[in-house]
Chains A and B, each alone.
Chain A
């Protein structure tokens, strides 16, 4: 056989990646989802489990700056990539403008969907700084919320767009 099976095939995988700027290195089961890796190996429980089928969006995280659903992302496949979770977005004393906007507009109730909603908003505003309501509603189509009826979330995204633009201008 031309292929060295031993070399290619592993029972467990050594995953090396950066999570919220911190390097990490862990042996994981080959089928572990990125969600379980974050929650159970790294105890980053801000990323939530809602369905494990990729429909609810509560588990949304960013991989190399793009949002993905961590429940249907194989942890082993984010080798050497940069992962950002809600914990990395901002803390109480230094809220990200998107977080501040969701607080101001009560863009959540139980907040179980909030990590996903926030990260989806960050990606939307990175690409579309001044989205229309239709663009906002479409950008959130991968995220379910059962509490708000989305009205306060759409309002929060609109406010976030204003704060985000202002924030960027200050930085420049």
Chain B
């Protein structure tokens, strides 16, 4: 660790990206601090420079754009819970943000950007965002680029927050006819989820169900079951939905986590349970008009 630490608080995005570029390794970006401060307090991280991005106006605000709802990376969980645009276009996201642990204090301070960049296996936002097919906007010395969130998650050593900045999250509005649910299983109020699942279900014109289903807190990264499930549903149209979800979970979740929230066998089993419960709850919510 390092005792001499420096601090920078750029006021413009281009200043921030240029500074990150100039600093090379050893810089670390901080916004709400909910992820980094515990490590800092215990001496577990020691960047040579802390770059506080909380003054970057470009990273703020919630807007409706042609690509969908564009949410600034500095938007805190509480805003996501109560913002009317998100409430109506992305109710699944509002709901999932309310399930984040740590209490109102963390909801008031923690940012959606920080939550994503942390890539913490037990966090709540990522499964919902993946089910919503979110794109992220990244600023670096090469300018802005937009990539699907899932692309970030496959990179094990991404440079977000050290070399590049997550600026905005862009999410297509949900189909108002869809049903959705977010299921989280916690051992006690104060623990991380042992498993969570985000589901969005739409009844297609032919009557078949289109199910977007992502489970979290069971593997190092959220597991997107959408593709495998739709294949199974196509190949075995007559099998019970719950059985299909079970089978997909069994097949796709190959390396469950084992920690204080439960052993690997339990986590895998709970992934099945929350996935089935989320889909069932989502189906109930489908608007039949």
The chain A residues found within 8 Å of chain B, CB to CB, are: 1-3, 5, 8-13, 29-31, 33, 52-55, 57, 60, 63, 66-69, 71-74, 76-77, 79, 120, 123-124, 139-144
Contact = CB atoms under 8 A, between A and B. Distances in A.
Interface stretch (B38-46, B116-124, B151-159, B268-276): B38-46
Given A68-B108, A77-B30, A54 B37 contact: yes
B104 interface: yes
A9 B8 contact: yes
B102 A3 contact: no
B101 to A, nearest CB: 8
Interface stretch (B48-56, B165-173, B247-255): B48-56
Given A67-B105, A74-B33, A141-B189, 14 more contacts: A9-B7, A52-B38, A53-B38, A63-B108, A63-B109, A66-B78, A67-B104, A68-B108, A71-B37, A77-B33, A120-B104, A141-B190, A142-B103, A144-B190
Interface string B92-112: 000000000111111011000
B104 A139 contact: yes
B145 interface: no
Instruction: Name B's interface SS.
Output: mixed
Q: Give the interface centre of B30, B78, B103 by most chain A CB atoms within 10 Å.
A: B103
A33 B41 CA distance: 8
26 contacts: A1-B22, A5-B22, A8-B19, A9-B7, A10-B7, A13-B7, A29-B5, A31-B50, A52-B41, A52-B42, A53-B42, A60-B105, A63-B108, A63-B109, A66-B78, A66-B109, A68-B108, A72-B41, A73-B109, A74-B30, A120-B104, A124-B104, A139-B104, A141-B189, A142-B105, A143-B103
B18 interface: yes
Given A52-B42, A55-B190, A77 B6 contact: no
B38 A54 contact: yes
Nearest to A66: B108
Contacts of B22: 1, 3, 5
